[in-house]
Amino acid sequence: MERIQTLINRLQEQVRQSADVAQMQLTLQLLQAELNQLQKTSGRTLGTSKVAVVMPTRVAVATAAPVVAEEIKKEIKEEEPVVIPVVNAKAKNESQPEFHFDPMNEIPTFSQHRIGKEINEAIEQQLSLNDRLKENRTEVMHAIKDTPIRDLRKGIGINDRFVFINELFRGDEPMYERSIKTINSFNIYPEAEYWMNRELKIKLGWDDTREIVTHFYQLVKRRFS
């Protein structure tokens, strides 16, 4: 701005002194060049005061052209170079966080936040539903386990019967049928338990830690509950 004000003052002084048209044309062109440079650097158009300029004839302009070029070169040389400071990467503040992503590309939009929230809510609802189903299934299993069985033969399902024959009675189906009939004939559970321990558990080598053995004993206990 100081440079522009200086050129305006020079132009006004030349007008008052009735200077040569070529000199005023030179000052005017320098002023125009400064305004264009300022417009490029600031990004906005600067307003100037109204100045009446008398345009020279074609001869005067042609004569003044070499002089204007020389003056513009001098003005460019006299301008001080712009020094751009170099920032040392090591001098950065260590406390300043470093981002390893492009914020313009990787920051989720509002719609993405909303979609993610809806997905999380749906997952939570699904988990809650699964938990309730598990609880209900557990309650049903407990209720089934506590339900008395009048006839052990009818109370044992097809799958359990197949597993019992193959896993506990060594594939001997007649032995299984005789054992179930004998267990049904007892009046109380201690009698049935004593007979199973002596005739089945010891002779067939049942392991109490096996789940299938525990399940068989539970079914027999429901027969006498």
Give the global pTM.
0.39
The whole-angstrom separation of Cα 14 and Cα 37 is: 24
Tell me whether residue 155 is exposed, middle or buried, using C-beta atoms within 10 angstroms of its C-beta: 0 to 12, 13 to 18, 19 or more: middle
pLDDT at 51: 47
pLDDT at 58 over 90: no
What residues contact 172, with CB distance under 8 A and at least 6 apart? 165
225 CB burial (10 A radius; 0-12, 13-18, 19+): exposed
User: Is pLDDT larger for residue 95 or for residue 195?
Assistant: 195
Between CA 172 and CA 202 the distance in angstroms is: 16
| pLDDT tens string 68-83 | 456 555 554 555 555 5
Q: Which of 15-29, 121-135, 184-198 has the lowest mean pLDDT?
A: 121-135
* CA 81/CA 220 separation, integer angstroms: 102
Confidence at residue 123, expressed as pLDDT on a 0 to 100 scale: 77
Q: Within 13 Å, how many C-alpha atoms sit on residue 73's CB side?
A: 6
How far CA 159 is from CA of 29, 162, 163, in Å, comes to: 104, 5, 6
Q: Report pLDDT digits (tens) over 23-43.
A: 888 888 898 888 888 888 876
Alpha-carbon distances of 176 from 154, 170, 192, rounded to whole Å: 14, 9, 15
How far is the CA of 95 from the CAs of 43, 89, 92, 98, 101, in angstroms?
Answer: 34, 13, 9, 9, 18
CB 200 within 8 A of CB 183: no
pLDDT at 118: 77
Question: Residue 41 has what pLDDT?
Answer: 81
Q: How far apart are CA 5 and CA 12, in angstroms?
A: 11
Q: Are 215 and 167 in contact (CB under 8 A)?
A: no
Q: What is the mean pLDDT of residues 84-112?
A: 53
Nearest to 217 by CA among 191, 188, 186, 193: 193
Q: Which amino acid, 54?
A: V
Domain locations in the chain as residue ranges? 2-78, 145-223
Report residue 124 as tokens. Answer: 């939570």
Alpha helices (H) in 93-167, listed in sequence order: 103-106, 110-146, 152-155, 158-167
